[in-house]
């Protein structure tokens, strides 16, 4: 028999037995629902019956000390604290895990609502959290919990550690945090001390400790037997450590439970996790459990928890299916998320059920007032601390520099397949570069998972190169990488290919008519190969296929060296031709012959402004009969890449945005080149060859796509420029 669980049904106590662990796991899984769906009834009033008894009479058991009934009572309660309890309600069965039962009945906390010490009230969110952790343990997984504030997580998890310490022989429980004050006698250890004092005073489970100091308890006492000193007790331990100086302090040795306090403000927790996991396993068998729980603090401190929550399976975290990924109710797989609407006072019924609908309406009303009263950054910060979905918890707290409205509309257009595309691989044969369609998908995770095995992705093509493109028809921009295979970096190599706008003069019966074939992103690749040489070959074939004049970020010069070795440096833009550097007075001391160097604040202070101008630019307008603007087309219409748009929408200073860096440099380069050199021109007539491919996106514009560059628009004729737009290109 695997487990026997005390069971309450129809006023009687019996036992429910499970022959195997698998049977028990299936049973618990069947009970696992979600707050608002558990439907606690009158039976829930019995969950904390022992606590209610203590509150009424000031003690638990009224039987004579050490009598048979006294011993029976405390043995029964110990059994419930070690195995949990099953309660049969009117229509549902409820299982209180051992930790949750002990916490409700024997471990008092400070009640913030009533402002006094008492026992925790029944709440379905805490009940849910307890079952989630049990399921993680049953599946030999670890637990990650992203939670709202004020859910008594610290109190509950100290109860979990204490239960093990109090009753389990030889158990070793540990706790840690990024700062000592989170876990010492000013933090969670204070709760442990309160629990120990209460149990020793009011229960039959007296437990002396030697040593008994902050951050180290050992459950033993020194005695003399036959005039010899020895220790008696369970020899269980609880110890704590902070990771202010070292992410691995105190993580050595075996461990039953490791609780990481304030996991949302723990920038080195991923290191701690990796170091302690060997201590919680024996070969391929998991022998202990790591529990990370916390609310999100500063974004630069929460990445380890974010990684665990959003990528649970790759981090050995017990995963649940949820529709709380974002405000679109997208269904995804994640660690446990406890949103604001679960167990939110006063929207809790008398049994402890969350009143989800009412809570969400109250949150909506409150946010409406915040939006009126608060500055945008304060509004975003406040939402992140009271999130109703995972995306809100991890959202950037400052007002985004990129216009979220037009980004969202463009993403919707892409989602609705308004832009045709193909995924291709490139190979070189005797005739040149040969594209082949592939079913392999481009990388669609942002940020990319560090442990992703295959980071090669695929090339996305929105428009293949035209036949015999003149040099200067296409530009490209590359953000390179310095190494091949890695599991420590989320950086990817990124390239965008851009088709310049072309002035087309067509002879018609009514005379010459001038069009602007709009500029656009025509191809992209974001990824890396385990062999960096293959990464370089991929980039080489892309730019050779389009005959693209290419700017490269030369902080990493390996690709530049590759092209020089292949005698293909003609495709690389010399530093003196990167005209935006001259405008900014940048890179004067950089002696690399090709490309640009991302020094200091060059990207975030200057180049990114080109990207902003590009997407905000009005490139077309529809007017009514009175000349009033009916609708506008913005420059973002020229960007068909959803991942680039995703990086824009999530951007904040310090975020790793490989695509955005490459794109911003590309736009800056193109704009300054066009401003100084003009557009590529092409004439069309019935006498010209028919094999000049025309873009399917060719259309008439009411204004130049680069209106801010000082060029006028003419529907019938184009101003002639004295110099060739590309006279300096060899």
What are 243-293's pLDDT values in tens digits?
Answer: 988 888 877 788 999 999 999 999 999 999 999 988 888 777 788 999 999
Residue 479 has pLDDT above 50, yes or no: yes
CA 544 to chain centroid, in Å, comes to 36
The predicted structure's pLDDT at residue 236: 96
Give the mean pLDDT of 458-462: 96
The DSSP code sequence of 92-146 is: -EEEE-HHHHHHHHH--EEETTTTEEEPPPP-HHHHHHHHHHHHHHHTT-BEEEE
C-beta separation of 414 from 403 below 8 A:
no
Chain position carrying tokens 């736009």: 667
The predicted structure's pLDDT at residue 719: 39
- Average pLDDT along the chain: 87
CA distance from start to end of the chain? 83
The predicted structure's pLDDT at residue 725: 40
pTM: predicted TM-score of the whole model, two decimal places:
0.69
Number of Cβ atoms within 10 Å of the Cβ of 705: 25
The predicted structure's pLDDT at residue 443: 92
Give the mean pLDDT of 233-239: 95
- 393 three-class SS: helix
Least confident of 214-223, 287-296, 461-470, 681-690: 681-690
Q: Count CA atoms within 13 Å of residue 487 on its CB side.
A: 7
pLDDT in tens, 201-217: 999 999 999 999 999 99
- 175 three-class SS: strand
**Per-residue pLDDT band at 453 (split at 50, 70, 90):** confident
Least confident of 251-260, 309-318, 610-619, 721-730: 721-730
Q: Give the whole-angstrom CA distance, residue 115 versus residue 174.
A: 30
> And the tokens for 664?
């911003």
Show the beta-strand stretches assigned E in 306-421.
Answer: 320-322, 332-334, 336-338
**Cα separation values, 528 from 404, 456, 491, 648, Å:** 29, 5, 9, 21
Number of Cβ atoms within 10 Å of the Cβ of 356: 17
pLDDT in tens, 561-589: 999 999 999 999 998 887 666 554 555 54
The predicted structure's pLDDT at residue 286: 80
The predicted structure's pLDDT at residue 710: 31
726 or 341: whose pLDDT is higher? Answer: 341
pLDDT in tens, 409-445: 999 999 999 999 999 999 998 888 999 999 999 998 8
**Per-residue pLDDT band at 693 (split at 50, 70, 90):** very low
Select, from the ranges 149-163, 376-390, 433-447, the one with the highest average predicted confidence (pLDDT).
Answer: 149-163
C-beta separation of 219 from 234 below 8 A:
yes
Residue 20 has pLDDT above 60, yes or no: yes
Largest CA distance in the chain: 120
3-state per-residue secondary structure call for 488-540: CCCCCEEEEEEECCEEEEEEECCEEEEEEECCEEEEEEEECCCCHHHHHHHHH
**Cα separation values, 302 from 262, 264, 306, Å:** 10, 5, 6
Show the beta-strand stretches assigned E in 202-278.
Answer: 212-213, 216-218, 221-225, 228-232, 237-242, 257-260
**Percent over 70 (pLDDT), the chain:** 89
């Amino acid at each position: 028999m695997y487990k026997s669980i005390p069971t309450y049904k129809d006023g009687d106590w019996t036992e429910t037995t499970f022959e195997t662990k698998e049977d028990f796991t299936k049973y618990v899984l069947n009970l696992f629902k979600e707050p608002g769906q558990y439907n606690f009834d009158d039976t829930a009033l019995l969950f904390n019956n022992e606590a209610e008894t203590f509150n009424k009479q000031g003690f638990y058991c009224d039987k004579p000390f050490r009598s048979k009934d006294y011993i029976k009572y405390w043995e029964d309660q110990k059994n419930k604290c070690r195995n949990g309890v099953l309660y049969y309600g009117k229509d549902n069965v409820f299982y209180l895990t051992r930790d949750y039962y002990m916490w409700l009945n024997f471990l008092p906390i400070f009640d913030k609502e009533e402002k006094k010490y008492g026992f925790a009230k029944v709440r379905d969110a805490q009940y849910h959290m307890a079952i989630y952790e049990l399921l993680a343990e049953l599946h030999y997984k670890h637990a990650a919990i992203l939670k709202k504030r004020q859910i008594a997580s610290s109190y509950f998890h100290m109860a979990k550690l204490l239960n093990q310490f109090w009753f389990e022989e030889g158990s070793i429980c540990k706790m840690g945090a990024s700062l000592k004050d989170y876990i010492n006698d000013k933090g969670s250890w204070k709760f442990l001390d309160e629990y120990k004092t209460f149990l020793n005073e009011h229960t039959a489970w007296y437990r002396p400790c030697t040593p008994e100091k902050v951050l180290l308890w050992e459950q033993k006492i020194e005695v003399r037997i036959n005039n010899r000193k020895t220790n008696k007790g369970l020899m269980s331990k609880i110890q704590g450590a902070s990771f202010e100086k070292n992410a691995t302090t105190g993580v050595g040795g075996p461990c039953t439970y490791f609780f990481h306090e304030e996991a949302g403000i723990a920038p080195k927790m991923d290191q701690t996790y990796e170091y302690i996991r060997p201590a919680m396993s024996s070969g391929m068998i998991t022998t202990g459990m790591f529990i990370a729980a916390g609310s999100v603090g500063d974004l630069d401190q929460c990445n380890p928890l974010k990684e665990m929550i959003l990528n649970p399976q790759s981090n050995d975290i017990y995963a649940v299916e949820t529709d709380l990924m974002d405000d679109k109710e997208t269904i995804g797989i994640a660690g446990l998320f406890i949103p604001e609407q679960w167990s939110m006072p006063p929207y809790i019924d008398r049994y402890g059920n969350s009143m989800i609908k009412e809570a969400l309406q109250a949150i909506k009303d409150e946010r409406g007032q915040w939006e009126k009263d608060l500055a945008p950054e304060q509004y975003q910060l406040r939402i992140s601390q009271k999130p109703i979905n995972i995306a809100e918890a991890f959202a950037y707290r400052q007002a985004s520099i990129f216009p979220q409205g037009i980004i969202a509309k463009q993403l919707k257009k892409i989602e609705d397949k308004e832009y045709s595309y193909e995924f291709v691989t490139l190979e070189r044969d005797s005739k040149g570069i040969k594209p082949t369609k592939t079913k392999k998908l481009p990388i669609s995770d942002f940020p990319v998972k560090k442990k992703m095995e295959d980071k090669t992705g695929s090339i996305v093509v929105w428009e293949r190169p035209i036949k015999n493109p003149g040099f200067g028809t296409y530009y490209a921009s590359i953000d390179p990488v310095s190494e091949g295979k890695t599991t420590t970096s989320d950086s990817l190599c990124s390239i965008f290919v851009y088709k310049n706008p072309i002035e087309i003069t067509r002879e018609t019966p009514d005379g010459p008519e001038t069009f602007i074939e709009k500029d656009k992103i025509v191809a992209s690749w974001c990824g890396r190969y385990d062999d960096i040489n293959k990464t370089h070959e991929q980039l080489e074939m892309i730019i050779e296929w389009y005959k693209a004049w290419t700017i490269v970020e030369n902080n990493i010069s390996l690709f530049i060296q590759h092209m020089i070795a292949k005698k293909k440096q003609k495709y690389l833009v010399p530093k003196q031709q990167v005209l935006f550097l001259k405008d900014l007075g940048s890179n004067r001391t950089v002696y690399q012959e090709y490309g640009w160097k991302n020094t200091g604040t060059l990207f975030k202070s200057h180049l990114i402004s080109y990207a902003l101008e590009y997407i905000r630019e009005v490139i077309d307008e529809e007017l009514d009969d009175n000349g009033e603007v009916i609708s506008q087309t913005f420059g973002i219409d020229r960007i068909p890449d959803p991942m680039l748009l995703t990086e824009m929408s999530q951007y904040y200073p310090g975020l790793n945005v490989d695509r955005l860096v490459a794109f911003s440099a590309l736009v800056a380069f193109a704009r300054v080149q066009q401003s100084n050199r003009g557009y590529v021109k092409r004439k069309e007539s019935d006498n010209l060859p028919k094999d000049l491919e025309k873009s399917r996106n060719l259309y008439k514009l009411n204004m130049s796509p680069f209106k801010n560059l000082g060029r006028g628009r003419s529907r019938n004729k184009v101003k002639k420029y004295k110099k060739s737009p590309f006279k300096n290109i060899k």
